[in-house]
Amino acid sequence: MSALGPMGRGLLGLLGTAVVLAMLGIFSEDLGLSQYLLVLVATILFWTTQATSWNLLSGFAGYFSFGQGAYVAVGAYSTAVLTGRHGVNFLYSIPVGAALGGLLALLIGMVAFRLRGLRGEIFALLTLAVPFILAAYARITDWVDGGQGTTIPLPNYPEWIADFQHLMFLLNLAVATLAVGLALGVHRSRLGRGLAAIHDAEDAAEVLGVPTFRYKMMAIVLGGVLGGAGGAIFALQIGFVAVESVFNLTIPLFVIIMSVLGGRTHWLGPVIGATLIVTLQDRLAAGGLSAWSAIIFGGLLALLVVAASDGLYSRVRANPWPTLGAGVGVAAVVLVTGTVETVTALLYGMLAATAVAIGAGLLRPARASAASASDASTMDDEALPRPTPVPASEGPLVACEGVSRYFGGVRALEDVSLTVDRGEIVGLVGANGSGKTTLVNLLCGAMRPTRGTIRIGGRPTAGTAAHRIAHAGVARTYQIPKPFASMTVHDNVAMAVMFGRDNARLPVARRVAARHLATVGLSRLADAYPSTLNLHQRQLLEMARAIAADPTVLLLDEALAGLSPAEIDDAVTVIRSIHDSGISIVIVEHLLRVVRGLATRVVVLDHGSVIADGEPAAVLSDPAVVAAYLGRQRA
Amino acid sequence: MRTKVLAVFVVAALAATTAACSKKDDGGTTSTPLVVGSTLSLTGAFAATGIIHKVAGEAFIARLNANGGLLGRQVEWKVLDDQSDTAKVGQLYEQLISQDKVDAILGPYATPNILATMAVAERHGLVLPHHTAVLAPQLTYKCQFPGWSIGPTPNQFIPNLLFDALATLPQPPKKIAVLTSQSGSAAFVTNGFGNDKTGLLTIAAQRGIEVVVNAPYPPTISDWGSIAAQVAGAKPDLVINNGLGVDTVNALTAMKQLGYRPPMTFSLFPAPGPLLGLGADSAGVLSVSIFEPNAPLISKAGADAQAIIDDYKSRATTAKIPYTAFETQAAASWNAWQILAASIKGAGKVDHKAMCDWLHANPVDTTFSGRLTFDASKNNFWAPTLGIKQIQNGQWVMVWPSDRAAGTLTGPTAS
Amino acid sequence: MITLQAAVTGALVGGLYALMAAGLSATWGVLRVINLAHFGLILIGAYLTYQVATSWGLDPIATLLVSAPALFVAGALLQGAYDRLGVAGFNSLLMSFGLLIVIIQIATNIWTADFQRIAPELNRYATGGLPLGRLILPTPALIAFSFAVVLIGGGYIALQRTFVGRGMRAFAEDRNVAAAFGIDHRRLGLLLGGLSGVSAAVAGMVFALSNSITPTTPYEWFGTVFAVVILGGVGNLLGTLVAGVGIGVLSGLVSVIWSPSTEPFMLFLAVILALLLRPQGLFRTAGAQ
């Protein structure tokens, strides 16, 4: 068991659970398990698939989607049209449904992720519109639905499956196992870490080398495939597919509640959420309280958003014994009294565990411990692979030729030409709004110039994604630090190594990261989370993360803003040692004493144009510069 | 990680053992009630009609139990609310059948929901009497039994019925506007289903009637202004609204805003009350019905009928339903219940195979629709006794065919 | 002619959409709160109109005397709650979704799931129409349009001219700086939430004039109202009015030229295109995004 990595163990455990469940299902009658229990678990499995598939993009990467119903519908209609209207065996309809779900996801992703403005609420609304438009289309298209719906004939199944409900159970089990297995695999993989980085700070991730577009596409397509497969099976379950039965707001609402309740950042979260919510709804219906279920779930969602938006999983993880103990205890006690059904007793147990988890979390917010210990102390330079150097090239490291950038009518940069050579520290100064940050954004590839060419290492950057520009040797920090909040300081830096030119694996990346943490002096805070750091430490983290990518040019965007004089001196020392290690620096800064002290060359921007470029002393006493930036009277 | 895996195993084992230990003891003696399970749209979009079926069912059961119940057992009815949500219907019936272990089931309201239930019934091999499904070609399960008199091809039957009735007028309509709701039963009547493309549109063409407006609309439509504009502009002799619920009310209101009143209007499956609420604006509106509480029809239905109608009225009043008349919906419900009761009595036991076979071999006598026989080759849809009703003096009155009429079809009102 | 009539009626009905969208757009733009519960308030407004007209025999428009203050308070309380709990942006979308479901269920419990409609004898506006040449302007739609123009126009003027209005615009643009200038975001939020509630009351009243009300109606408004908010530009009141009218006209035209069943498809296609091509709206926004 220990020879397998954590992912291997997890998958094996998952497979084992699946086998146990399958056996319980197939032999349920012999074991005396009621049909009803089979149906309940099958429903839980269906929702596990949906919640897990939703969570891949929306939980892991933070792109909340309201459109899960679209994938289910596409899958359901695959079965409806193929099996219902044309008699194709349902076993073929399921992969078709999955493929179409994936295709739909691909389309949505291609369109939504290409446009940078589409995040947050706008993305959510776009995904909300997709099922509506598909429903409208289905209604008016005769071969799909035409408003009349389609009955699905009873499927044929082999002898060893006792009856229809057993078939549904096994199908849902198969797809759910696939879904959870995929989520498990993604969670611990590069893709998973990349998605987490996208969730925390997408722009920072992109310039760090995470291929954000590709990763988001992978997440959304996987989600679409799983959702479609689940939907195809759903059609079999309901037996009659009509627009009203597959296109409703229940599906997106439920998957959101389940994942938010269970925990969005871990693959187990949706499973926990699905189990709890489905059981709760079942018991409410059994108790004749279904009119209340709407109020309860709506209220639950509202409450969760406010009180426990990170979900149950991390809280149970933080306090495993009290929560599980409360759960098992309450369930056992209620069972023994024999006053209610078994499932109700289990529900009470689950609710007790939930209450304890949320309560404990509120009383004693304990951070989930870091996944594995960092062995920062035992670094061994010989054992670390040498970082791949940037291919050497003639000429300047960075060159801008006639670069302009307009935002609508605003000319942020106008015809800027400058170069950065090896070994330089270029100070970039100018008043607020002179275009300094825009220039930094252009240089690292976060934006494209409206006109002109930018070359990194001699090669033009036009048409190159920002994460590849990062691999070409440009790194930057942000004026307002954008750390990955869900990772430790150590892992933040390790991300840069993982997604840098070397594509290192996590253990190696961690060891390399330790070295860079030492350079900026953050070693003792390696296991802390960014939210516990002060501004100075966060700026140092920005720098560590940037240099961990082994750049040739580091762009520091007002890295000293808001620091005290002592902190500034500390930061300057760090910057010098970074320079000494062979990295050229472009430092955007207002503090002239720092610029004078550090820079080998100063470039002055005024209203988007370069008005001076040369030796610090000469530039800073140039009358034009004085007039534009320093003011008429020297202080 | 190991702890996690262990935990999962423990939970699974716990679940299995506790489930196994929890087998319930069913009594099976004849003194236990006979439970019939079903769902109804008690909330949501179809609730206005769902509640009618609830009251009708309760009235039937009270009567049945007063007369000794079924097979010497009192009958209980377990009704769940499906919230007019087709996706919930199947689950709820599964729950009724597998968990609550009801003895028999009855269908819910509205075609899509009934189709969803049919799938469940078929899996479990249960007899499914239902009251309101119209899409006969889709109802292929041989043990479903309709209580609504629509025949196996309503897409032909209804348009022909309507046009036959209108042909008796001195000036039958020559130009019609057809407004169709793109959902289940309504679209079927207009356009046919699958390979059978006959419907209102083709039959109108056959009879030389010109369709001047053909407007399918989504069931979620909220603005009737453009439809009203089209109809007002085209000036048809007859507006046919193949729709449900309050569609016709909304359509007529929107037309009135434009100062237009159709000479004649037909509404396929309206919620009975709201149209009457339009007062003078709805005078002369036509619809289909299997029964209306008009005196001649009541006396034809036999001695029981009046008592049933009065009992229903008092129950409906207590339940604060806006419309308390026992009419087509309630009658269909009564048919379905009578079919169920007859099958159980006929088979002599609660054995669904026996019940199904009995129904195929024997006729069922119903109070409001006469003698019904079920032919599996026609999907059990018996020869229809559907008629046309019209709003006259603020009441629905059956006007066609003449042998089942209580009044005469009146022609267009002056607009 | 038919097409023109459909377009004109659509334009007027667009006033209703604009009324529904205005409150949502305002709180979204200024306070960054996407309040789906706004739809619930519109529903309550419609039911209050129905109930007051039916129980007390008041003219439907006069029922605003009851519903407007009630929904002012409700809107302010809601906004106060969001503010207190620090809920904004995406979280507000989720939380308000939950609240909307609760409101709909409560409405079902009080007024049943049946279709409710103001009786014709109490509602003299339902079936009237104002002739204008060869066109007719249906009365309820005309009322909707008039209220929309008055409310939105008034709101716009208030934003431009009054101190409070300017405070709101400042807040929308840069809340930190505005706070530094003494603009109290809490009071502002309450006021805006309350005014939003009033707009919901008016929208509900107008809706009740010519429609049957049932608790699940709000779900049918989602698509159109969000289309109006997005196309008009979040936070841009005048844009909302123009977008509402535009969408109304588009709906009417599509219904006549193709068929009413194509209309939802076209509408959502337009929304998706708008979201993709110009998520900041078709018009210049008043405040920062």
Q: Which residue of B has its CA nearest to A332?
A: B18
HSE of B260 in the Cβ direction (CA atoms, 13 Å)?
28
Rounded to a whole number of angstroms, the distance from the CA of C116 to the nearest CA of chain A is 20
What domain range is B237 assigned to? 154-291+388-404
- Predicted confidence (pLDDT) per residue in B7-18, tens digit: 454 455 455 444
Specify whether the CB–CB gap between A483 and A538 falls below 8 A: yes
Q: Specify the pLDDT at position A383.
A: 57
pLDDT band at A272 (very low <50, low <70, confident <90, very high): very high
Q: Enumerate residues 6+ apart whose C-beta is below 8 A from C142.
A: C12, C130
B398 lies in the same domain as B284: yes
Residue A186 has pLDDT above 90, yes or no: yes
Cβ neighbours of B242 in C, within 8 Å: none
Are residues B145 and B193 both part of a single domain?
no
CA C97 to chain centre: 16
Segment holding A587, helix H or strand E: strand A584-588
Whether the predicted pLDDT of A216 surpasses 90? yes
Please check whether residues B274 and B323 belong to one and the same domain. Answer: no
CATH number of A398-630: 3.40.50.300
pLDDT at A631: 63
Q: Give pLDDT tens digits for B299-343.
A: 888 888 999 999 999 999 998 887 888 988 899 999 999 999 999
Domain positions in chain A are 10-248, 268-365, 398-630
Q: What is the pLDDT of residues C184-212, one digit of tens each?
A: 778 888 999 999 999 999 999 999 988 88
- State whether B281 and B314 are in the same domain: no
Q: What does the pLDDT average to over A181-209?
A: 91
Residues A46-59: tens digit of each pLDDT: 999 999 999 999 99
| C283 in A contact zone (CB under 8 Å) | no
Q: How confident is the model at residue C227 (pLDDT cuts 50, 70, 90)?
A: confident
Cα A233 to the center of its chain, rounded Å: 28
Residue B10 lies in a domain: no
pLDDT at A386 over 80: no
Beta-carbon separation of B230 and C256 below 8 A: yes
Can you spell out the DSSP letters for B298-357?
HHHH-HHHHHHHHHHHHHHHHTT-S-----HHHHHHHHHHHHHHHHHHHHSSS-HHHHHH
B interface mutation test: which of C12, C39, C110, C115 has the most B CBs within 10 A? C115
Answer yes or no: is B8 within a domain.
no
**What b-and-e string marks burial along A354-376, b requiring 16 or more CB atoms within 10 Å of the CB?**
bebbbbbbeeeeeeeeeeeebeb
**pLDDT (tens digit, 9 = 90+) per residue, B25-52?**
344 445 789 999 999 988 767 777 888 9
Percentage of chain A beyond pLDDT 70 is 93
Model confidence at B6, pLDDT cuts 50, 70, 90, reads very low
pLDDT tens-digit readout, B94-139: 888 887 889 999 999 988 889 989 988 998 899 999 998 888 888 8
Do B310 and B209 share a structural domain? no
Cα distance between residue C67 and residue C200, in whole Å: 9
Predicted confidence at residue C129, as pLDDT, reads: 83
CA A164 to chain B, closest CA, distance in angstroms equals 7
pLDDT averaged over chain C? 85
A258-to-A54, A272, A326, A621, C162 alpha-carbon distances in Å: 10, 8, 21, 64, 46
pLDDT, residue A373, reads 39
* Set of chain C residues whose Cβ sits within 8 Å of the Cβ of B279: 120-121
Question: Which pLDDT value is given to residue A2?
Answer: 56
Flag whether pLDDT at A76 surpasses 90: yes
pLDDT at A185: 92
pLDDT of residue C20: 94
| pLDDT at residue A632, as a whole number | 54
| pLDDT score of A4 | 67
> What mean pLDDT do residues A605-614 have?
87
Q: How far is CA A482 from CA A200, A259, B206, B371, in A?
A: 8, 26, 73, 79
Q: Hey, are the CB atoms on C141 and B229 less than 8 Å from each other?
A: no
Q: Could you say which residues from 360 to 389 on chain A have a Cβ atom under 8 Å away from some Cβ of chain B?
A: none
pLDDT in tens, B132-165: 888 888 888 999 999 987 888 889 999 999 999 9
Structure-model confidence comparison of residues A427 and A253, the more confident one: A427
Residue A243 has phi, psi (to 5 degrees) of -55, -45
> Do A286 and B99 count as a contact with CB atoms less than 8 A apart?
yes
Q: What is the CATH number of the domain that holds B264?
A: 3.40.50.2300
Does some domain include residue B5?
Answer: no
Mutation pick from C110, C214, C221 vs chain B, by most beta carbons of B within 10 Å, is C214
Q: Is C212 on the interface with B (CB under 8 A)?
A: yes
Residue B222 φ then ψ, to 5°: -120, -20
pLDDT of residue B176: 95
pLDDT, greater one: A592 or B64: B64
Phi, psi of B174 (to 5 degrees): -110, -25
Name all chains with 3 or more CB-CB pairs below 8 Å to chain A. B, C
Inter-chain touch B322–C114, beta carbons under 8 Å: yes
State the total domains in chain B: 2
The answer to whether C246 touches C230, Cβ cutoff 8 Å, is no
| H helix or E strand, kind and range, residue A584 | strand A584-588
The pairing of strands A410-420 and A425-430 is: unpaired
Element (H, E) at A519: helix A506-520
**Are B132 and B268 within one domain?**
no
Question: Are both B107 and B143 inside the same structural domain?
Answer: yes
How is the beta sheet containing A459-460 ordered, strand by strand?
A: A410-420, A398-407, A451-456, A459-460
Q: What is the pLDDT of residue A385?
A: 64
**C223 confidence band (pLDDT: 50, 70, 90):** confident
| Mean pLDDT on A226-240 | 92
Predicted local distance difference test score (pLDDT) of residue A393: 67
**Could you tell me if B304 and B349 lie in one domain?**
yes
Q: Identify the pLDDT of residue B215.
A: 92
> What residue in C sits closest to A147 (Cα-Cα)?
C261
pLDDT mean over A388-398: 75
What does pLDDT average to over chain A?
85
A305 beta partners = none
Min mean pLDDT across A266-270, A622-626, A627-631 is at A627-631
Q: Do C216 and B277 touch (CB under 8 A)?
A: no
B238 shares a domain with B178: yes
Residues B121 and B159 in one domain: no
Place of tokens 């009703």: B389
- Domains delineated in chain C: 2-114+137-277 (1.10.3470)
CA distance B363 to B380: 12
| B264-270 vs B238-245, strand pairing mode | parallel
Helices (H), A242-341: 243-246, 250-262, 268-286, 290-307, 312-318, 320-337
Residue B193: inside a domain: yes
Tens digits of per-residue pLDDT, A135-151?
A: 888 888 888 887 788 88
Query: Looking at this protein, which amino acid is placed at residue A194?
Result: G
Task: Please choose, from the candidates C281, C265, C284, C262, the residue with its C-alpha nearest in 3D space to the C-alpha of residue C223.
Answer: C265
Across-strand partners of A475? A554
pLDDT at B406 exceeding the cut of 50: yes
Q: Which of A3, A135, A5 is nearest to A70 (CA)?
A: A135
pLDDT digits (tens, 9 = 90+) for A301-347: 888 888 777 888 888 888 888 888 888 888 888 888 877 778 888 88
Q: In which band, very low, low, confident or very high, does the pLDDT at A292 lie, cut at 50, 70 and 90?
A: confident
CA B249 to chain centre: 19
- Rounded (to 5) percent helix, strand, coil in chain B: 45, 20, 35
Identity at A137, one-letter amino acid code:
Y
Closest-CA residue of chain B to A81: B194
Distance from CA of C112 to the nearest CA of B (A): 7
How many inter-chain contacts (A to B, CB under 8 Å) are there? 158
ipTM of the complex: 0.81
Contact state of A346 with B8 under an 8 Å Cβ cutoff: no
- The separation between CA A599 and the C-alpha centre of its own chain, rounded to angstroms, equals 38
Q: Give percent above pLDDT 90 in chain B.
A: 45
Q: Which of A41-45, A293-297, B326-330, C205-209 has the lowest mean pLDDT?
A: A293-297
Among A86-95, A244-253, A344-353, the least confident range: A244-253
In terms of Cα–Cα distance, which of A589, A634, A635 is closest to A616?
Answer: A589
Domain membership of residue B326 (yes or no) is: yes
Task: Confirm or reject contact between A583 and chain B (CB < 8 A).
Answer: no
User: Which tens digits make up the pLDDT trace of B80-106?
Assistant: 888 777 878 888 898 888 878 899 999
Q: Give the C-alpha separation, B343 to B362, whole Å.
A: 9
Query: How far is C219 from A131, CA to CA, in rounded Å?
Result: 13
Q: What is the mean pLDDT of residues B189-202?
A: 87
| C101-160 per-position pLDDT tens digit | 889 888 988 887 777 888 878 888 877 888 888 888 888 889 999 999 999 998 888 878
Spatial distance between the Cα atoms of B93 and B85, rounded to a whole number of angstroms: 13
Structure tokens at A26: 């197939």
Whether B327 maps to a domain, the answer reads yes
pLDDT at B213: 93
Task: Tell me: do B305 and B378 sit in the same domain.
Answer: yes
Which chains neighbour C (Cβ–Cβ under 8 Å, 3 or more pairs)?
Answer: A, B
Based on the fold, state whether residues B258 and B316 are members of the same structural domain: no
pLDDT score of C171 more than 80: no
The distance of C163 to chain A (nearest Cα, Å) reads 29
CA distance B219 to A135: 12
